[in-house]
C-alpha cells in the first residue's frame, strides 16, 4: 500500500455502537480502488510539477521577451529621435534658404512650402499644404512653366523666368528651376520648384540700363549744347531786334514772337537734357521736410495767382516735424514739377491734396509725400511709360521732368510711384528714408 494513506477503519467487535446503527463490512474490491486513487494522486503531483516547471519557463521567457522589448523600444526611440533630429536639421536648412521651395506629390498636391515661399507668394503654409498646385499657384504663366509640366514630361527646367500673381494681386517676376524628386530606390515621389523674386534684380537692371542711356545722352547733350545754343542765341537776338524795328500794329510781330517762343522752348529742352544727363551731386542736410514742402507749395501758389488759375492746394500735414536728410534745392524742384503736372491735368481748375505722412516697415522708417489731383487721369498705356525719357502728353513738354524727379529721389535713397486712372485723378507718391 502506498505511503501517506491511512488504512480505513473497520468497526471492532468491542465497539459499543447503538443497536440501531447498521454495521457494514468493507467491499471486497476496496484494495484496487485505494491503489487507483494513489496512482491518480501521483499523476496529479507529476502534472502539477510539470505545470510549475512550464510556468517557470514561461516566466523566464516572459522576462527575456520583456528585456528584448525594452531594448527594442529603446533602440526604436533612439532611432525616432535620430530621425527627428535629422528631420529638424533638414527642415531648418529648408527654412533658412532665401529662395522659395515648393514640392508636390505625383498628383500635383503641395507637400512642402517653406517660409521664403510664403513671403514671395503671399500665401501661408496652412492655406497651401495638401492643396493642388493649379488651385493655389495657378497657371497664369502657362502650364509649361510649372512643376506640373515636370511631372508630366519627366524633365526638369533650369534658370527660367516667369511672372507670378501674388495673393495680394501684385504680379512679380520670378526666376525658377524645377526637378523631379526620387526615393532611395529611384522611384519618383513628386517634383520640386525652387524660385526667387527678381523684382530687385529687375530694378537694378533698369538702373543700369538708364545709366547707360544717361551716359549716351550726356555725350549727346554736350554736343547739342555746343552746336545748338550758340545759334539759338543768335536767332533770339535777331528776333528781338526785328520785333523792335516793326511797328506795333504790324502783323509780322506775331510771327517774330513765335520765333522767340520757339527759341525759348529749344533752350528749355537743351537745359532739361543737360540737367537730366549731368551727374547728380547732392548737398544734403537734415531739415524739417514739412517746411521744405510748404516752401515749394507757397512759391507755386504765387505763380497760380499770377496766372489766375482756379487751383486750390490743400495741406494735409502731421503735427510733429519730419526731420529728413535732403538736398533742399533738388527736392523743391521735384515738388514743383509734381505740382505743375497736377495743375496741367486740371485745365478747368480743381484741388491738389499735398499730404505728408510717416510709416515704418521691415526696411526702416519712411516719410511719404503724396501729390493727389482731381484731374483727368492717365490711361494705362501711358502710365507704363510715364518715367521714360521724352515721353510726354504736353505740346511744349520735354518728357524729362518726371525722369529727372525720379533720378533726384532715388539719389536720396527713396522712390517715386504713381497711381491713376482716366477720370479719377492722379496721385504721385514719394518715399524717403528717415
Strands (E), 86-226: 100-105, 110-113, 157-165, 171-182, 188-197
Q: Is residue 356 within 8 Å of 314, Cβ to Cβ?
A: no
What is the per-residue pLDDT across 128-139, written as a single tens digit (0 to 9) for each? 899 999 888 888
Q: DSSP per residue over 389-423, as a string?
A: TT--SSTT--S-HHHHHHHHHHHTT-EEEEEE-TT
What torsion do the CA atoms of 32, 35, 37, 41 make, to the nearest 10 degrees? -170
Query: 97-197, superfamily in CATH?
Result: PAS domain (3.30.450.20)
So where are the chain's domains?
32-96, 97-197, 203-277, 285-433
Least confident of 87-91, 176-180, 187-191, 225-229: 87-91
Q: Is 338 exposed, middle or buried (0-12, 13-18, 19+ CB in 10 A)?
A: buried
Give the least confident one: 242-256, 299-313, 341-355, 400-414: 242-256
The Cα–Cα gap between 42 and 379 comes to 113
Q: Using pLDDT thresholds of 50, 70 and 90, give the confidence band for residue 13.
A: very low
Angle CA 360–362–364, to nearest 5: 50
Q: What is the pLDDT of residue 25?
A: 55
CB count in 10 Å sphere of residue 123: 19
Predicted model pTM: 0.49
Per residue in 284-295, pLDDT (tens digit) is 889 888 988 999
* Nearest alpha-carbon partner for 107 in 188, 176, 216, 51: 188
Helix (H, G, I), strand (E, B) or coil at 318: coil
pLDDT at 59: 80
pLDDT score at 395: 61
Q: Are 419 and 276 in contact (CB under 8 A)?
A: no
Local structure of residue 347 (DSSP, 8 states): T
CATH topology of domain 285-433: Heat Shock Protein 90 (3.30.565)
Per CATH, the number for 203-277 is 1.10.287
pLDDT at res. 214: 66
Q: Is 349 helix (H, G, I), strand (E, B) or coil?
A: coil
Question: Once rounded to an integer, what is the mean pLDDT over residues 142-166?
Answer: 88
DSSP letter for 247, please: -
CA distance 361 to 356: 17
Instruction: Tell me which residue of 182, 164, 181 sits closest to 173, measured CA to CA.
Output: 164
Amino acid at each position: 500500500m502506498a505511503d501517506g494513506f491511512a488504512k480505513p477503519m473497520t468497526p471492532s467487535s468491542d465497539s459499543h455502537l447503538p443497536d440501531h446503527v447498521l454495521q457494514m463490512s468493507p467491499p471486497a474490491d476496496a484494495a484496487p480502488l485505494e491503489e487507483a486513487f494513489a496512482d491518480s494522486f501521483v499523476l496529479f503531483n507529476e502534472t502539477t510539477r510539470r505545470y510549475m516547471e512550464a510556468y517557470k519557463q514561461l516566466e523566464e521567457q516572459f522576462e527575456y521577451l520583456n528585456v528584448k522589448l525594452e531594448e527594442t523600444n529603446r533602440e526604436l526611440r533612439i532611432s525616432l529621435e535620430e530621425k527627428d533630429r535629422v528631420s529638424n536639421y533638414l527642415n531648418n536648412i529648408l527654412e533658412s534658404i532665401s529662395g522659395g521651395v515648393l514640392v508636390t506629390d505625383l498628383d500635383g498636391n503641395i507637400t512642402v512650402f517653406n517660409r521664403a515661399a510664403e513671403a514671395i507668394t503671399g500665401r501661408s503654409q496652412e492655406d497651401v499644404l495638401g492643396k493642388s498646385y493649379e488651385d493655389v499657384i495657378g497657371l497664369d504663366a502657362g502650364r509649361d512653366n510649372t512643376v506640373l509640366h515636370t511631372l508630366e514630361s519627366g524633365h526638369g527646367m533650369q534658370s527660367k523666368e516667369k511672372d507670378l500673381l501674388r495673393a495680394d494681386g501684385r504680379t512679380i517676376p520670378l526666376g525658377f528651376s524645377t526637378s523631379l524628386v526620387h526615393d532611395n530606390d529611384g522611384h519618383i515621389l513628386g517634383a520640386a520648384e525652387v524660385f526667387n523674386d527678381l523684382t530687385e534684380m529687375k530694378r537694378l537692371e533698369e538702373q543700369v540700363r538708364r545709366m547707360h542711356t544717361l551716359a549716351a545722352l550726356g555725350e549727346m547733350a554736350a554736343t547739342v549744347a555746343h552746336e545748338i545754343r550758340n545759334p539759338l542765341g543768335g536767332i533770339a537776338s535777331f528776333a528781338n531786334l526785328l520785333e523792335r524795328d516793326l511797328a506795333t500794329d504790324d502783323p509780322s510781330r506775331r510771327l517774330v514772337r513765335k520765333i522767340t517762343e520757339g527759341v525759348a522752348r529749344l533752350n528749355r529742352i537743351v537745359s532739361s537734357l543737360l540737367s537730366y544727363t549731368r551727374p547728380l551731386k547732392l548737398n544734403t542736410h537734415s531739415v524739417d521736410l514739412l517746411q521744405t514742402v510748404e516752401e515749394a507749395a507757397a512759391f507755386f501758389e504765387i505763380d497760380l495767382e499770377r496766372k489766375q488759375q482756379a487751383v486750390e492746394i490743400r495741406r494735409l500735414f502731421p503735427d510733429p516735424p519730419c526731420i529728413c536728410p535732403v538736398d533742399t534745392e533738388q527736392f523743391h524742384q521735384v515738388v514743383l514739377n509734381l505740382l505743375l503736372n497736377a495743375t496741367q491735368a486740371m485745365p478747368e481748375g480743381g484741388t491738389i491734396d499735398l499730404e505728408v505722412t510717416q510709416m515704418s516697415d521691415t526696411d526702416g522708417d519712411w516719410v511719404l509725400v503724396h501729390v493727389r489731383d482731381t484731374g483727368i487721369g492717365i490711361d494705362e498705356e501711358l502710365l507704363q511709360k510715364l518715367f521714360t525719357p521724352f515721353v510726354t502728353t504736353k505740346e511744349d513738354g520735354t518728357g524729362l521732368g518726371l525722369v529727372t524727379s525720379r533720378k533726384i529721389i532715388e539719389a536720396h535713397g527713396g522712390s517715386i510711384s504713381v497711381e491713376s486712372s482716366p477720370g479719377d485723378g492722379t496721385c504721385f507718391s514719394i518715399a524717403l528714408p528717415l
